[in-house]
Amino acid sequence: MTSPLPTSIKVREVGPRDGFQNEPEVIPTGVKIDLINQLARTGLKRIEVTSFVRADVIPQLSDADAVLDGMSIPDGVSVSVLVPNLKGLERALERRDRFDEVNVFLSASEQHNRRNVNRSVEESIVGAASTLARAGDEGLRCEAVISTSFGCPYEGRVPVDRVVEIASRLAEAGAVEIGFGDTTGMANPKQVKDFFSVARQALPGIELTAHFHNTRGQGLANVLAALEVGVDSFESSFGELGGCPVPAGATGNIATEDLVSMVEEMGISTGVDLNLLLSAVETVAAQLGRPLGSHTLSAGPIDWQ
């Protein structure tokens, strides 16, 4: 059943972490800091800035401490970091004064989870629960992200009941927000509507966040489908950067500027200044020296005059 569209949505910008982690060239720390500072002044209220993973796993994010120390974030902007496990959280807690939220992650499908983190789903749930409990003790807001929520390239369709069961266990462990990832762009709008209709009933009181990739060009259609069943929280990445390290061909997240442009034209408020956001994205494109996947960056904002 279609609900009235939200009048506003929350957007978490994940480009500084999710977007940059898949770039083959090392992005200088100073460039990351300058970009985060720009993004934090566009009206975005939530930014995922880095991850406390091992440097040998994702060298691009080995400068997490320096990024946190160097950035300048206005009041009212919530900073989050991704932590892969309890050890990563303990590292992050050394910089506790520099961020507000932590994100943990796992996959809904066994094969993707094993290829991504070399653990079973059950092992990851247990580990995430310990991490969430520790983060909660520190007064941090906790989100859990479930990858391959809408389909797995190795196992095919992932049952909604399995995803909801995982989400329920993570919520019991302390996650107040669950992000559902279309990790390799396999979702379609009907599936998204059906999925969130079930999830909203099964997870009362939990903030449900949609994390769509545009691998097959369906990302914004899936956003509309989620809006139509009342979802008002989304994750996106500037320039359509990002993607899943496994498998090959899993391209980037929906572009934040495309998301903002679409919903603002629909009368849904994001609080984001699109021109300031595009200026920040142009900085990234110049640094990378290549065109990005963003449509709004190419076409510009809609001018009705």
pLDDT tens track, the chain, 305 positions: 677 999 999 999 999 999 999 888 899 999 999 999 999 999 999 999 999 999 888 999 999 999 999 999 999 999 999 999 999 999 999 999 999 999 999 999 999 999 999 999 999 999 999 999 999 999 999 999 999 999 999 999 999 999 999 999 999 999 999 999 999 999 999 999 999 999 999 999 999 999 999 999 999 999 999 999 999 999 999 999 988 766 666 678 999 999 999 999 999 999 999 999 999 999 999 999 999 999 999 999 999 87
Q: Which of 224, 233, 150, 209 is nearest to 184 (CA)?
A: 150
Angle between helices 189-202 and 219-227 (to 10 degrees): 40
Q: Which of 235, 246, 175, 287 is nearest to 48 (CA)?
A: 235
- Give the contacts of 274 (CB within 8 A, at least 6 positions apart): 257, 260, 261, 264, 296, 301
**CA-to-CA distance for 248 and 245, rounded, in angstroms?**
7
93 phi, psi to nearest 5 deg: -65, -15
Q: For each of the domains in the chain, give its residue range(s) and CATH number, in order of start.
A: 10-297 (3.20.20.70)
**CA-to-CA distance for 93 and 89, rounded, in angstroms?**
6
Q: Quick check: pTM over 0.75? A: yes
Catalytic residue among 164, 244, 260, 274: 244
Tell me how long the chain is.
305
pLDDT number for residue 76: 97
Q: Which of 103, 43, 40 is nearest to 67 (CA)?
A: 40
Q: Which two tokens stand for residue 7?
A: 């009048």
pLDDT number for residue 1: 60
- Give the contacts of 36 (CB within 8 A, at least 6 positions apart): 16, 47, 49, 67, 71, 73
**CA-to-CA distance for 215 and 223, rounded, in angstroms?**
14
pLDDT number for residue 3: 74
pLDDT number for residue 22: 85
244 is catalytic: yes
